[in-house]
Structure 1
Amino acid sequence: MSRAYLYSLVEETVLMEPPTHFIPSLEGKALYGMKQVGHFWWLHLLGILEGLGFTSCKVDMSLYVFWRDKTIIAIWIHIDDGVITSSFPTEIKQFCKAICGNLEIKWLDNMKQIMGLECAFGEGEVTISLTRLTNNILDAYPRRIFQHDSPLLPILKTTSSVKGFIMEATPFRSVVGSLAYLVSGLRPDLAFGVNYLARSSKALTAAHWAILDYLMGYLLKT
């Protein structure tokens, strides 16, 4: 889905400080970076889908279901990525035509990946992999790393109470956030190290970067 958040309408006043010498216009639309943008987008998408007869699941609000007689259509959408399935393929085509009047969507016949997960369909089975996402995280890491056999425990024994100069935390948090997504997917072996590092991001020191280097070295080897 192209430019998902920019479709959302803002129904309340949001105060922002623009860059110097830049005179913005009053767009009345959501922008990337706003804290409320995810909620605005959900409300906008929900309104469109409800108009097409869908209801939002109470357990997973990213899941929308259309159920009429023998026809069932299920859609799962997270921001600009999602998947659709139905009891009848013709119903999917009709839905695609209906929603394209409201949103710009690129449709793929086969689901090869979703939310960073690689999907391979075989006879009676589905294989899910995080290989590509893992490689992207490793390629984007800004520091040199070496392979390690364990996630964190050996180095944590010598850094249980780290002190030092407080460092800028944005790139650190970005890497830890990406690792947290791996944990929620298929890498529970990273959970302890990621949770430990996430607690340290408010008072980040060089020692914490060393711990992250070690964890990334384990990810590189495994």
Structure 2
Amino acid sequence: MSTSTNTTGNTITYILVYVDDIIVTGNDNHRIQTVLHSFAARFSIKGPVDLHYFLGIQVTRTDSGVRLSQQKYINDRLYKANMTDAKPIATPLPTTPKLKLDSASPLQDATQYRSVVGSLQYLAFTRPDISYAVGRFSQFMHKPTGDHWQAAKRVLRYLSGTRSHVIFLHKKTPLTLHAFSDADWAGDTDDYVSTNGYIIYLGQNPISWSSNK
């Protein structure tokens, strides 16, 4: 992902480029059109349209803001894992027992586990509620066990019941930053390394989040 920002006085223009997907936005429509015409003079591009999808993220405008959703992506992942009709569950992971490196026997074929965890990493772009679980699963990619696979399928069951959850970016919100953070000090019984997590809001809008060991 490449990002460029241009600021002239009170006019701000943002350009986001990923391979052949481009977003041009800002607070001045005339400047946006100038940038688009400049691109069209140099490259063969499709006519500009309002943003609906970008990298698999569905964008829906409303009078009060913008909804970011990956519901279609969730549906595709559930279908691929043969869990379209999976019974929903209320939480991504139980609080106990914690997953361990050597819990249960290693999977004979870890391909599906790694595929599911990779897709969950991408899904965490709009689903901070699964960030911790995805971080845990990623620690076992080299040698996943049956317990790790069952835990990954539990997250898919959780997503089955929360497909409509979205990130909503409010149009009118105070431009104040605030954050929440927490840490599980030396909570990993495999190596006693800590896990920390945070989420940052601009007014009502979540703009950054992470869960890392």
TM-score scaled by length of structure 1: 0.58
Distance in structure 2 (CA, Å) of the matches to 1:165 and 1:70 = 58
Cα RMSD for the two superposed structures: 3.1
Q: Write the mapping of 1:19-98 to structure 2, written as runs, cut at 5 A.
A: 62-67=2-7, 72-86=12-26, 88-98=28-38
Task: Name the structure 1 match of 2:117.
Answer: 176
User: Which of the residues 105, 130, 135 maps onto 2:70?
Assistant: 130
* 2:149 aligned to which of 177, 191, 209: 209
Post-superposition offset of 1:100: 3.6
Q: Residue in 2 aligned with 1:31?
A: none
Q: Is the 8 A contact 1:151 1:190 kept in 2?
A: yes
The structural deviation recorded for 1:111 is 1.0
Per chain length, whose mean CA-contact separation is higher, i.e. which structure has more relative contact order (CA < 8 Å, sep 6+)? 2
SS of 2:91's partner is coil
Number of aligned residue pairs: 160
2: CA distance between counterparts of 1:86 and 1:218?
36
CA deviation string 1:28-86 (max 9, x = no partner) = xxxxxxxxxxxxxx8xxxxxxxxxxxxxxxxxxx2213456786532122333231124
The Cα of 1:199 is off from its aligned counterpart by: 0.8
Change (3 A) 1:66 1:140: same
CA contact (8 A) 2:92 2:133 kept: yes
Q: CA deviation at 1:202?
A: 0.3
Higher helix share: 1
CA distance in structure 2 between the aligned counterparts of 1:172 and 1:196, rounded to whole angstroms: 13
Against the structure 1 CA distance between its residues 200 and 89, is the aligned structure 2 distance closer, same or farther, given a 3 Å change threshold?
A: same
How does 1:149-188 map onto structure 2 within 5 Å? 149-153=90-94, 157=97, 160=100, 161-185=102-126, 187-188=127-128
Answer yes or no: is the 8 Å Cα contact 1:168–1:204 preserved in 2.
no
2: distance between equivalents of 1:215 and 1:189?
10
Choose the corresponding residue for 2:136, options 173, 193, 196. Answer: 196
Greater strand share, structure number: 2
Which runs of 5 or more residues in structure 2 are unaligned? Answer: 163-213
Rounded to whole Å, the distance in 1 between the matches of 2:103 and 2:9 is 62
Q: Is the 8 A contact 2:83 2:156 kept in 1?
A: no
Percent identity between the two aligned chains: 24
Contact 1:180 1:194 in 2 (8 A): yes
Q: TM-score, normalised by structure 2?
A: 0.60
Opposite residue 175 of structure 1, the aligned amino acid is: V
CA apart distance, 1:184:
3.2
The letter of the residue matching 2:137 is L
